[in-house]
Amino acid sequence: MEKEELLRQIADAVVEMEEDTVEELAQQSLTAGIDAYETIDLGLAKGMERAGQLFDEEEYFVPELLMCSDAMNVGIDVLKPHLKSENVSKKGKVVIGVVEGDTHDIGKNLVRLMMETGGFEVLDLGRDIPPAEFVSKAEEYGADIIGIATLMTTTMPGMKEVVDILANKGIRDKYKVIVGGGPISPAFAKKIGADGYARNAADAVKVAEKLLGNTDLALGA
Amino acid sequence: MTEWKDEMTAIERMTAYAKGEDIDRLPCVPIVGNTAARVIGVKVSDFRGNGELIAKAHIAAYKLFHYDNIRVFTDLYTQAEAMGSEVIYPEDETAYLGQPVIKLDPRLSNLDEIDKLRPADPYKDGNLPEHLKAMRIVVDAVGEEVPVGGAVTGPFTNSSFLVGAENLVRLTLKNPEAVHKLCQVSLESNLRYVDAVIDAGVTPSLTDAMSSSTVISPRLFRKFSLPYLKKLIDHIHDKGKKVTLHICGKTDGIWEDMVKAGADCLSIDNDADILKAKELVGDRVMLMGNVRPSETMLEGTVEDVRKATVEVVRKVYDSPKGFIVASGCSLPTETPFENIHEMLNTVRRIGNPFAIKDATSIVA
């Protein structure tokens, strides 16, 4: 099979949520000597990107997106041991979590997935995370972006607290803060002094890319 | 503060409205949940296992604001908790789900655990007896003047609290049979609970957050949620009660199904277009909604609340089967009292909806 054809089929299998097919085709790609990174980037991630588009267009919903990501992860498990270390160049580092008092993490998990497939290195703090921990972990990890999610109106003030802690420590400019989740609006993001608002998981990747892109411009890079 | 005196009690108003008779103002329900704790100055966690306190708070909140429906509610997890799931009670915030009762492994290989689930006994399990007690006290105190509802979490959403939301949505595609089992046992819990709620003299009020099209497609809703909702609603109808159904987030693709399920009133979230709901299903069901609970009611000024209330009344006051001015979802605990007062006062200033000539003449 042609390389392009194989990669296309891998992407299709991710979109179609077919774990077994993904596993089989990923093996084939290794046998055919295709670079593992290329298979991830142009096969698996491409498929996940299309799944994200379908989610955006309300063709796919949360269950479908989760199943696509399950299929993608099966492929990654096959390919990961064969990755050469030089091609793990990443777009940026992200710490992400759900704010304290909220344990709904479907949305956050989707964002993590989409960010990872979008080429970001992601440290997932989990759910029910105190504001100070977002900051300490971001410092430890050397993050570029702090992503904060909540599905509950009751926990929204915790988001502002993260921004305030950054400001009080004089490290606000080191990070781009992106907020999102059910009750969050662009107006709220602006009000608490966040840098970005992500409407959904697919949007989060675009917002992150844009924000880091702007940083480069601002730095003259 | 309440600057305008109502001329009718909530029950008089709702009864007259249903008959198409004159009313002093539109019914208005800012959906007060744990904000009731703030009214009597207690911590949210004080409600745990204390039906008397829940009742005291809801009675006090009603007497402060004079809205048209009391919904005895603390959180969505009471039935799942009674079936064995862990609920975490922060000191002064709304409770949330801890470990679900069924702990599925990532490969979903222990699905037979689901067979061990048993429906909850409303008179024995978890905090259900205290909620029933709260309902009885509220009805005794103010049931003559205001309709009282008891919150019931729908079968599909309750199922998500039994295995975890992410597992449930995976199972919808990976193992439909497991989802049906979960919904069936949740329905059985629901049926027992609504019987007890009705025996307490209260009307069950259904919330089904996970059925939202923000989470599952309308197709999966019809497959997994609708059949059980319909059975639940049929049962409540058999007992002579009407049903309000709230599904969070986007729902326009399932309004027809919510009507088919038998709901008498749809509570429309602020993420959905209530004007479109009026056009599509307003001829068959009453509508309530959908002022933004967080942006407007929690964060907004009194002026913002007034504007949003006028706007929603202009859109939906003439909905054929009636309209209740409401928040799009439960209000956040810290919603300022003056914003809740303002929603009601705006509706009071607008007055009798039948006297309105056209939408542009609605001012407040």
Instruction: For residues A100 and A201, state if they share a domain.
Output: yes
Instruction: For residues A99 and A21, state if they share a domain.
Output: no
User: What's the pLDDT score for residue B302?
Assistant: 97
Distances (CA, A) of B23 to A34, B10, B20, B280: 75, 10, 9, 25
Confidence of residue A220 (pLDDT cuts 50, 70, 90): very low
For A188, nearest residue in chain B (alpha carbons):
B295
Instruction: For residues A110 and A185, state if they share a domain.
Output: yes
User: What's the pLDDT score for residue A221?
Assistant: 32
For A109, nearest residue in chain B (alpha carbons):
B166
User: What's the pLDDT score for residue A107?
Assistant: 75
Instruction: For residues A209 and A123, state if they share a domain.
Output: yes
Residues B113, B104: Cα–Cα separation, whole Å: 8
Residues B354, B20: Cα–Cα separation, whole Å: 9
User: What's the pLDDT score for residue A55?
Assistant: 87
**Domains in chain B with CATH codes:** 10-353 (3.20.20.210)
Most confident option among A40-54, A107-121, A144-158: A40-54
Of B94, B215, B295, which is closest to A185 when you measure between CB atoms? B295
CATH label of the domain that carries residue A113:
3.40.50.280
Instruction: For residues A205 and A141, state if they share a domain.
Output: yes
Per-residue pLDDT tens over the stretch A41-93: 889 988 988 998 898 888 999 899 889 988 998 998 899 888 775 555 578 99
Domain count, chain A: 2
User: What's the pLDDT score for residue B237?
Assistant: 98
DSSP output for A29-71: HHHTT--HHHHIIIIIHHHHHHHHHHHHTTSS-HHHHHHHHHH
Residues B338, B297: Cα–Cα separation, whole Å: 9
Best of A16, A61, A108, A184 to mutate (most B CBs within 10 Å, chain B): A61
CATH label of the domain that carries residue A47:
1.10.1240.10
Contact between B154 and B225 under an 8 Å Cβ cutoff? The reply is yes
At which of A59, A87, A115 does a domain end?
A: A87
Question: Which residues on adjacent β-strands are paired with residue A180?
Answer: A149, A198
Residues A111, A219: Cα–Cα separation, whole Å: 27
B275 touches chain A (CB under 8 A): no
Provide the CB-side half-sphere exposure for B90 (13 A, CA).
16
Instruction: For residues A138 and A172, state if they share a domain.
Output: yes
For A18, list phi and psi in degrees, rounded to 5. -95, 95
Instruction: For residues A135 and A44, state if they share a domain.
Output: no
Closest chain B C-alpha to A216 CA, distance in angstroms? 33
Closest chain A C-alpha to B104 CA, distance in angstroms? 16
Instruction: For residues A17 and A59, state if they share a domain.
Output: yes
Interface ipTM above 0.85: no
For A189, nearest residue in chain B (alpha carbons):
B295
Confidence of residue A218 (pLDDT cuts 50, 70, 90): very low
Residues of A in contact with B214 (CB under 8 A): 182
Chain B (177-236) residues lying within 8 Å, Cβ to Cβ, of chain A: 213-217, 220
Contact between B194 and B61 under an 8 Å Cβ cutoff? The reply is no
Confidence of residue B4 (pLDDT cuts 50, 70, 90): low
Instruction: For residues A80 and A115, state if they share a domain.
Output: no
Instruction: For residues A97 and A81, state if they share a domain.
Output: no
CB contact under 8 A, B169 and A66: yes
User: What's the pLDDT score for residue B243?
Assistant: 96
User: What's the pLDDT score for residue A86?
Assistant: 54
Distances (CA, A) of A207 to A93, A202, B288, B313: 14, 9, 35, 36
Stronger pLDDT, A183 or B289, i.e. the higher one: B289
B143 touches chain A (CB under 8 A): no
What average pLDDT does the structure give for chain A? 86
At which of A25, A57, A87 does a domain end?
A: A87
Domain that holds residue A54: 3-87
At which of A62, A87, A112 does a domain end?
A: A87
DSSP output for chain A: --HHHHHHHHHHHHHTT-HHHHHHHHHHHHHTT--HHHHIIIIIHHHHHHHHHHHHTTSS-HHHHHHHHHHHHHHHHHHGGG--GGG---SEEEEEEEETT----HHHHHHHHHHHHTTEEEEEEEEEE-HHHHHHHHHHHT-SEEEEE-S-GGGTHHHHHHHHHHHHTT-GGG-EEEEESTT--HHHHHHTT-SEEESSHHHHHHHHHHHHHHHHHHHT-
Q: Exposed/middle/buried for B21, CB within 10 Å: 0-12, 13-18, 19+? A: exposed
Contact between B44 and B75 under an 8 Å Cβ cutoff? The reply is no
In chain B, the percentage of residues whose pLDDT exceeds 90 is 90
Instruction: For residues A55 and A105, state if they share a domain.
Output: no
Q: How many CB atoms lie within 10 A of CB B15?
A: 14
Of A61, A67, A156, which is closest to B217 when you measure between CB atoms? A61
Of B174, B249, B298, which is closest to A153 when you measure between CB atoms? B298
Backbone CA torsion sign across A177, A178, A184, A187: positive
Per-residue pLDDT tens over the stretch B73-110: 999 999 999 999 999 999 998 898 999 999 999 888 99
What average pLDDT does the structure give for chain B? 95
The CA-CA-CA angle for residues B106, A45, A50, to 5°, reads: 100
Contact between B47 and B34 under an 8 Å Cβ cutoff? The reply is yes
Q: How many CB atoms lie within 10 A of CB B124?
A: 9
For B215, nearest residue in chain A (alpha carbons):
A62
Mean pLDDT of all residues in A187-216: 84
Instruction: For residues A62 and A161, state if they share a domain.
Output: no
For residue B71, give the nearest of B258, B246, B272 by alpha carbon.
Answer: B246
Closest chain A C-alpha to B109 CA, distance in angstroms? 15
